[in-house]
Structure formats: C-alpha cells, structure tokens
C-alpha cells in the first residue's frame, strides 16, 4: 500500500522519539528473568540428540540403533529411513534464483549419502539430554567414505562432485549485465584498469544463544506449539506445515527470548522438523538444544565467496565500469535463502559511486561443507568489501589520496533519486557530507602526518588509515521487487494497535525481535502518537497465536517496514478516536488538535477530552456515533515501494608491528546515516555490535576446514570472536538524511557497522604497509599473514634491486 502518516512522528512535537531512552528489554535480560527455549519447563518432555556424520562425504551403508535403544533412559531411536514417511516435502529453499537452479533434495535425516560433517543421520530420544547424548554415541553407523569437494574454486571445476549422481556442482549462474557492449568498450578504452581477487572466508554466526526447539502437542485438538529460537516464527509456521504435513493453522510457533541470530536463525532447520515429527509420532513433547560445537557444524555459516572485481577508470580515477564475477559457496544444500544471499549484493558492487557500465555474474557452487545462508549484511558486506578494497587499489595506482578518489566518484547529492546502472533507485543520499564528517572526526590530515613521521623515522610500528564509504539496501522488501527476483514470499509487515479500556495500549507486531530493541522503539513511536507513557505500551510479538500475520525480522527491515506499520495503525486509531471526540465535544473533527494524549478544540483549548477517556467510551459503547464500531483498535500492513539506502563513511586506524605482524586496531570512527532515529542509544548499540562483528571478519574469524572437509574451528578456542579487550572505543557520529521511502523517514542500522568495518580495517592494514609494496592481505589478517606479506614484499624489493 502507499500511505502517508498524517501526524508525522518526527515532524516536530516528538517528546519521546529521538531520545536516548534505556531499553525496556534489558532489566529482564540482565537479571536473568528472560526465558529462552532451554529455560522452558515442559513436564514430560523427551530430549532429542542427533547423530551426525563425521565425514564430509560418505555413503551410509547401515545404521544400527540396537545398542542405543538398550541404553538407560532411551525411549526411541530412528534412522533416516525410519522417518522417511514423516515428510510431506524436502526441506524448503524459498529462493529459486533461476529457473534451472539445481537443488538436491534435502531431508532432515540423510538416508543414503551424507554430504558434510554434521549432516544428520539418526536421532535418539531419551528422558534426559545426557542420556540422549550418551545413546547417540552408541548408534553404530557404517560409512563408506567418498571424495569430498572442499575448496570452492576446485569444486567449481567439478573435479569431485559434492553429491554423487548430480550432473555438476553448479547450483546456478545468475547475471546482471544491463549492457555488455558498454562494459567492453569501457575496459577497452580506459586509461586505468585494475583486476582484484578477494576471498570472503566463511564465518560462523556465533549467536550468544545457540539454537533450540521444543515441540509440545496440545492436549486438545491435535495441535502443536513449537517453541524455537528463531528469527522467523511466521515463516517457520508455514514451512513446518508444508514440510511435515501438518495444516499450518494447527501449528503455533513461539519464539521466546532469543539470544541473537545475525541471520543464522532466519532459516528452517532439520531439528525443528524432527522435533515436530517426533512429537506427532510419539505424542509427547520433544525438545533439543544445540551444543556450541554442534553449532559450528549444523547451523548455517556466512560469506564464503571468491570475488573477482575489475575496475575501468580514466586517468583521474573516474570510474567508467565495474565488472564482477563471483563464486559463491552454497555448502552441501540450499537452505531457506542460501542461493539469494550473494544476489542481495548484486546491485551494490559499484557502491556509492556513479558508474555508467556494470556487469555482475555469480555462480553458486555446492561443496561438502555446512550450508551457507544469510549472515549479518548478507551479500552487502561482500559487495562493499570488494568495491571499497578496489577503489583504494585504484587510488594507489593513480597516486591519489583514497578520500579524494572517492569524492571524485560519489553519486552527487543533487542526483537523488538516483537510478543506478544496476537497476535500483537510490531514494536519497549525501555521501560527501558523511565522508567530510568522518575525515574531520578522525583528524585525517593529522593521521596522515603521523603516518609519514613514523615511516620517516623507521618506526617498527607503522600506522595505517583505512576508509570505507558504503551504501546498503535495507527495508526488505517491496513485494513486487521480491517477485522479480523469484523470491517466493512478499516483504510487507503487519501491525495492530489496540487501546484497552484503562487507556493502556497493546501493540501487536509481525516483526520478531531477538536483540534489536523493538519493544522499546515501538513503544516510543506509540508514546508520541497516542500521548501515553512508553511503559503503558505492551508490545506483543513472536507468537503466531497472538500475532498471526507477519514476515519477521531480518535485513534491517523491522523499523522501516514494521515500524511504519505500527505508525500507520496508530494513525488509524487516532482517526477513529477523533471522530468520537468530535461527537462528544460537538465540533467538527477538523477543529480538533491532538497533543499530549488529549483532543482539544482549536481556539478554545479548555474544551478537551483525553484519548484514554475515549478508549473507555469506545469500550463501553454506551454512546457512540451512529455506525461506529466499539473499541479503539486498528490494523495496518505496510508494503514498501522501495528499499531504503543507509550510507556512511568509516575510518579505521591500525598499528602494524612489522617485527611480529601483529595488527592493533587503535582507533575507529564511524559516520552513519540511517535517516531519522527513533532512539539514538539503540542506533549506537547496533553500530557498536556491527563494527565489532565486521572487525571480527577482518582480523580474527574464519571457519576453517582441512583438505578432507573436516571443520577445524569448532570451539571458541579456535574460532576467534573478538571481545571488548580487542577493540578500541568507537567514535560515532551521524548525518541525518531522511528516507522518502517510508513516512517515518527511517532506514535501518542493524547491518551498517558490519558492512562498513571489514573493508575499513583491511584497507588500514594494507595502507600501513603499502609503501613497502604490500598490496594484498587475505582475511582474517592474522599476524602470520601480515608477517609473510611483509617478508614477501621485502623479498620482491631485494630482487628488484638486483
């Protein structure tokens, strides 16, 4: 729908919106009162443990459950064959990106072939989780090991097939080439061309709470309540129904407190389907909690790409064309949106720059590794990394300052709305302002002087300064755009606002928070709309019985889509209340003003009536205008007409110890523009966490596999997530360019930090050593890699001097 909010929340008169209100969610989280799936007390629940393949690729010769069944506390055990009758369809992939996409059938338990370490082959159900785990260890599975496709580029060559019997490891090839001739011409005539290759290593999402699920058959009516640590209760309900063959309406999905997701819980997992199927079969509650090491195998991973990017530019560094070829690691199977993740970046490989010619090709490739899927930023961090690394290479090539080269190429402030070469319409932007602010905040000129001083003095600790200017597309998503991308659902969000007889307010949202602070933000919007205290607003969410319509939380969509739906519903409540107020005060509705929760007659403010009073009168319905229905309640569904386009510039400052290769991130400056801010405190929190996560990719994190496909980073001693001790205090600032794509003027900030920080930090590391001849470093930039880069550069210099 297209709509305008009549009382613009931010058009002056806001008391609450824009303030740094403390999050209403936090007392329960900090005191331990919040209840996560594993905290739920469910009498009589059985515990499921999953037997997983220790091989990256193997034929399953036999599954012997007899020893497990004889173990204490065990009630049942099943192989894949035992449960094959439970499934109405394979596990879902909701994004068939091309009509010829290959998608091997994926069932919750493998029957004949396992395709990654962690692929499930059997389940054991016991009275306690420890008994279930002990018994799982007693299941005897006989495997015949097969060669594994592990390395992405090798797998793309089909030397080894990840699935026996499939014609190729290629899942799909997807192209966005608006004008191939224009690209060719640009590269043929450009004064400068550069070609870069980057590896986006796989990342483990590592949410603080691992996954968990508990399915409870209800005593009456053959229904199931599914408690799951998920970002997507609504989508999960539909998919559970389709996959397990239970009518959707008989499934209630509840996401209790959810301890983070970062995209990893935007999925439909085997364990959710297994618990539902087993609860149906055994008529008992069945629950499962993921172990941390299990999470490194059985929960989707992020990134996993090899990127080739070519730039064509004139002698001043003005971009003429961008050409990108991706190999994207799907892992062993296509999960819910696996194939679409790289394509969320497909439109953004020219970044914030005005580029006339564009070519993007992505091939999705199966490997014998854990499936990949959405991880904070999903496609957009990869795109930003490639263009922001490449633009600095271009700057070095032509001997210009990287800030200056960016400025030369920015889409100018006067160009918005800007129709991009890739087919998007960037609704708003002011990239120069963000860059200027970031450089000033960082003291860019002083940093460059300090860098030069250290180099001149031969200081073994070099200074590196890295920039990253980004734009992302958020607010997923206009349903019509999703249709054009073959996504099988829409991108709207639903809301209901309900005034209770006491004047308190209930808000029902289809968004499903798992750390973002929706309860706080939604109640702030309502507080200003209805003139109530935020604490008088209850936000109901994440339970399909309470909030039957919704499309959940991912892609920085909640505020710009879900928050707008809240505002629209509140406006409808006000509209109705105004009619009632006019009736009671015996004036025309146009003569009434709403302020502080009271309607008053323009010109005679003593004649007024409170919204709370009207709520009670609407409830008693003793004296309503002719034809008016009782109660003050309204629903709204918002389907955006465009994405939102947050942007900004980040500056990272690193010290590189040339003797050891150690990189210390010493300072970090971020200027972000997420449009209007409902709560700056929440904005800053999102930016902080996002930066930390992006820096993690730059310096520490990598999901590593050996040549046989064995995962090597299955504990937090080997998979290094940065802690506060590794990070400096971040210095944040903002520019505010309201988005015209929604009536709140908001954009989304959940992914920006992750998108911007990875290239900023890697650019800084290279910048520190560029004068020594270092031009590339693979992520994460470990001390050993930095040391080797320095050594190789020194060797080249020596060779060159001969």
Do residues 136 and 52 lie in contact, with contact meaning Cβ atoms separated by under 8 Å? no
C-beta closer to another protein: residue 658 or 735: 658
CB of 329 to another protein, least distance (A): 20
CB of 476 to another protein, least distance (A): 34
Integer Cα distance of 319 and 312 in angstroms: 6
Integer Cα distance of 623 and 556 in angstroms: 44
Kindly write down the DSSP assignment for every residue of 293-347, as one continuous string.
HHHHHHS-BEEEEEEEEEEEE-TT--EEEEEEEEEEEEESS--SSGGGTGGGSTT
Rg over alpha carbons for the chain, rounded to the nearest Å, is 28
Integer Cα distance of 534 and 748 in angstroms: 21
CB of 310 to another protein, least distance (A): 33
C-beta closer to another protein: residue 619 or 700: 700
Kindly write down the DSSP assignment for every residue of 133-146, as one continuous string.
HHHHTT-EEEEEE-
Under DSSP, is residue 595 helix (H, G, I), strand (E, B) or coil? strand
Closest by Cα among 212, 243, 277, 276 to 82: 277
CB of 420 to another protein, least distance (A): 39
C-beta closer to another protein: residue 281 or 662: 662
Integer Cα distance of 457 and 462 in angstroms: 10
CB of 717 to another protein, least distance (A): 7
Do residues 526 and 9 lie in contact, with contact meaning Cβ atoms separated by under 8 Å? no
CB of 657 to another protein, least distance (A): 9
Query: In this structure, what token pair is assigned to residue 156?
Result: 């793309």
C-beta closer to another protein: residue 50 or 268: 50
C-beta closer to another protein: residue 670 or 786: 786
Kindly report the backbone phi and psi dihedral angles of residue 413, in degrees, each rounded to the nearest multiple of 5, phi listed first: -55, -30
Integer Cα distance of 171 and 448 in angstroms: 46
CB of 726 to another protein, least distance (A): 5
Integer Cα distance of 651 and 403 in angstroms: 10
Do residues 102 and 166 lie in contact, with contact meaning Cβ atoms separated by under 8 Å? yes
CB of 694 to another protein, least distance (A): 16
Torsion of CA 741, 481, 272, 145, to 10 degrees: -130
Under DSSP, is residue 54 helix (H, G, I), strand (E, B) or coil? coil
CB of 53 to another protein, least distance (A): 18
CB of 507 to another protein, least distance (A): 38
Kindly report the backbone phi and psi dihedral angles of residue 505, in degrees, each rounded to the nearest multiple of 5, phi listed first: -125, 135
Q: What angle do CA 657, 470, 759 make, to 5 degrees?
A: 20
C-beta closer to another protein: residue 593 or 704: 704
Closest by Cα among 473, 370, 464 to 427: 473
CB of 84 to another protein, least distance (A): 29
Say which residues have a Cβ less than 8 Å from residue 720's Cβ, sequence separation at least 6: 696, 700, 701, 780
C-beta closer to another protein: residue 293 or 635: 293
Query: In this structure, what token pair is assigned to residue 149?
Result: 């496709």
C-beta closer to another protein: residue 36 or 366: 36
Say which residues have a Cβ less than 8 Å from residue 692's Cβ, sequence separation at least 6: 722, 727, 753
C-beta closer to another protein: residue 489 or 708: 708
Integer Cα distance of 471 and 467 in angstroms: 14
Per DSSP, 356 falls in state S
C-beta closer to another protein: residue 440 or 704: 704
CB of 38 to another protein, least distance (A): 12
| Residues facing 198 on adjacent strands | 307
C-beta closer to another protein: residue 41 or 724: 724
C-beta closer to another protein: residue 99 or 715: 715
Do residues 77 and 123 lie in contact, with contact meaning Cβ atoms separated by under 8 Å? yes
C-beta closer to another protein: residue 133 or 168: 133
Do residues 683 and 749 lie in contact, with contact meaning Cβ atoms separated by under 8 Å? yes
Do residues 679 and 520 lie in contact, with contact meaning Cβ atoms separated by under 8 Å? yes
CB of 688 to another protein, least distance (A): 18
Query: In this structure, what token pair is assigned to residue 196?
Result: 């870069």
Under DSSP, is residue 292 helix (H, G, I), strand (E, B) or coil? helix
Say which residues have a Cβ less than 8 Å from residue 583's Cβ, sequence separation at least 6: 624, 625
Task: Quote the strand ranges of 472-583, DSSP E.
Answer: 493-499, 505-509, 537-540
C-beta closer to another protein: residue 293 or 479: 293
CB of 136 to another protein, least distance (A): 11
| Interface contacts to another protein, rule CB under 8 A | 129-130, 133-134, 291-293, 659-660, 662, 700, 704, 712-713, 715, 717-718, 720, 722-723, 725-726, 782-784, 787-788
CB of 665 to another protein, least distance (A): 12
Q: Is the peptide bond before 718 cis (omega within 30 degrees of 0)?
A: no
C-beta closer to another protein: residue 134 or 767: 134
CB of 776 to another protein, least distance (A): 19
Burial class for 267, CB neighbours closer than 10 Å (0-12, 13-18, 19+)? buried
C-beta closer to another protein: residue 211 or 406: 211
């Amino acid at each position: 729908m297209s709509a305008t909010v009549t009382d613009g929340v931010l058009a002056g008169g806001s008391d609450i919106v824009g303030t740094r209100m403390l999050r209403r969610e936090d007392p329960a989280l900090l005191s331990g009162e919040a209840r996560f799936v594993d905290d739920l007390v469910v009498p009589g629940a059985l515990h499921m443990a999953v037997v997983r393949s220790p091989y990256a690729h193997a034929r399953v010769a036999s599954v012997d459950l007899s020893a497990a069944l004889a173990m204490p506390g065990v009630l049942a055990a099943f192989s894949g064959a035992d449960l094959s009758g439970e499934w109405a369809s394979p596990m879902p992939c909701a994004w068939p990106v091309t009509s010829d996409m290959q998608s091997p059938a994926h069932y919750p338990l493998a029957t004949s072939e396992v395709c990654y370490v962690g692929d499930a082959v059997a389940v054991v159900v016991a009275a306690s989780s420890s008994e279930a785990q002990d018994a799982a260890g007693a299941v005897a599975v006989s495997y015949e090991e097969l060669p594994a496709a592990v390395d992405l580029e090798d797998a793309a060559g089909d030397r080894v097939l990840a699935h026996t019997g499939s014609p190729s490891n290629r899942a799909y090839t997807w192209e966005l080439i608006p004008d191939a001739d224009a690209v060719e011409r640009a590269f043929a005539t450009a004064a400068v061309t550069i070609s870069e290759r980057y590896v986006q290593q796989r990342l483990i999402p590592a949410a603080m709470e691992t996954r968990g699920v508990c399915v409870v058959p209800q005593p009456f009516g053959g229904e199931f309540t599914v408690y799951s640590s998920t970002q997507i209760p609504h989508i999960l309900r539909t998919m559970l129904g389709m996959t397990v063959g239970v009518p959707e309406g008989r499934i209630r999905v509840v996401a209790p407190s959810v301890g983070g997701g970062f995209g990893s819980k935007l999925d439909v997992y085997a364990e959710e389907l297994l618990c539902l199927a087993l609860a149906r079969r055994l008529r008992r509650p069945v629950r499962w909690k993921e172990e941390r090491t299990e999470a490194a195998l059985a929960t989707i991973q992020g990134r996993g790409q090899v990127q080739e990017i070519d730039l064509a530019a004139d002698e001043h560094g003005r971009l003429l064309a961008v050409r990108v070829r991706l190999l994207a690691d799907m892992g062993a199977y296509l999960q819910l949106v696996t194939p679409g993740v790289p394509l969320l970046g497909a439109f953004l490989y020219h970044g914030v720059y005005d580029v006339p010619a564009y070519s993007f090709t992505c091939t999705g490739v199966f490997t014998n590794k854990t499936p990949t899927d959405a991880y904070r930023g999903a496609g957009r961090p990869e795109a930003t990394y490639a263009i922001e690394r490449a633009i600095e290479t271009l700057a070095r090539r032509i001997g210009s300052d990287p800030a200056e080269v960016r400025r030369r190429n920015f889409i100018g402030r006067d160009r918005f709305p800007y129709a991009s070469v890739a087919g998007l319409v960037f609704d708003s932007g002011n990239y120069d302002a963000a860059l200027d602010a970031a450089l000033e905040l960082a003291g860019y000129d002083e940093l460059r002087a300090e860098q030069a001083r250290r180099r001149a003095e031969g200081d073994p600790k070099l200074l590196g300064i890295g920039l990253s200017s980004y734009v992302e597309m958020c607010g997923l998503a206009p349903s019509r755009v999703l249709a054009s991308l073959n996504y099988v659902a829409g991108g709207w969000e639903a809301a209901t606002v309900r005034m209770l007889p006491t004047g308190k307010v209930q808000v029902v949202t289809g968004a499903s928070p798992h750390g973002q602070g929706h309860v706080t933000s939604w109640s702030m919007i309502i507080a200003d709309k209805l003139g109530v205290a935020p604490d008088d607003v209850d936000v109901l969410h994440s339970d399909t019985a309470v909030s039957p319509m919704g499309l959940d939380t991912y892609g920085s969509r909640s505020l710009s889509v879900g928050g707008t739906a809240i505002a629209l519903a509140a406006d409808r409540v006000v509209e109705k209340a105004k009619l009632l107020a006019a009736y009671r005060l015996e004036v025309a509705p146009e003569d009434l003003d709403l302020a502080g929760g009271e309607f008053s007659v323009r010109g005679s403010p003593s004649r007024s009536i409170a919204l709370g009073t009207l709520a009670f009168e609407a409830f008693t319905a003793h004296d309503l205008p002719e034809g008016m229905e009782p109660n003050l309640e309204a629903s709204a569904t918002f389907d955006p007409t465009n994405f939102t386009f947050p942007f900004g510039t980040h500056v990272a400052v690193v010290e590189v110890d040339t003797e050891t290769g150690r990189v210390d991130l010493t300072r970090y400056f971020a200027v972000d523009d997420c449009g209007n801010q409902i709560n700056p405190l929440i904005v800053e929190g999102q930016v902080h966490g996002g930066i930390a996560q992006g820096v993690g990719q730059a310096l520490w994190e990598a999901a590593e596999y050996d040549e046989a496909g064995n995962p090597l980073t299955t504990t937090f001693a080997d998979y290094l997530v940065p802690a506060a001790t590794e990070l400096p205090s971040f210095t944040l600032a903002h520019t505010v360019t309201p988005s015209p794509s929604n009536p709140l003027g908001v954009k989304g900030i959940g992914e920006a930090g992750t998108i911007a920080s990875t290239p900023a930090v890697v650019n800084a590391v290279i910048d520190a050593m560029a004068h020594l001849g270092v031009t590339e470093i693979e992520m994460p930039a470990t001390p050993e890699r930095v040391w080797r880069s320095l050594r190789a550069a020194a060797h080249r210099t020596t060779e060159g001097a001969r």
